[in-house]
Amino acid sequence: MREFKSPDLLGTKAKVAEQKKHDDEYMRKVKGAAKRVFESNEDGRLLFKFILDYCDVFKMTMTGNSWTFFNEGKRDVGLMLLGLREAQWEDEVTQRREEHLQKMNKESKL
């Protein structure tokens, strides 16, 4: 799945620099693809919101048992997606967080 090349620990500085250049270019392409997919239209934005909700990014993941590890794994995927689009989606993420807090407040008052 990952296209990153493992660095040759015994390699030269030129190899390390080449590896970094390759990795930077790969991540630039991934970020561009994420932006096109998730920001291109309303369906993409809806999909992004769904993934964040499904991954429980804005929820407590601690359960006190082994489900915590599973929940943290799901949350990690959502956090990775947030990291891809951090600056461009800052307003969207803030709005989503506020919506979730409002929902939690309403539920706690019941």
Classify residue 1: in a domain, yes or no: no
Q: Is residue 6 part of a domain?
A: no
4 is a domain residue: no
How many domains are contained in the chain?
Answer: 1
pLDDT digit string (tens) for 8-67? Answer: 555 677 888 888 999 989 888 888 888 888 888 899 889 999 999 999 999 988 999 999
Residue 48: partners with Cβ closer than 8 Å, 6 or more residues away = 38, 81, 89, 92
Range of the domain at 29: 13-109
Query: Per the domain annotation, does 66 fall within a domain?
Result: yes
Q: If pLDDT is split at 50, 70 and 90, which confidence band does 1 have? A: low
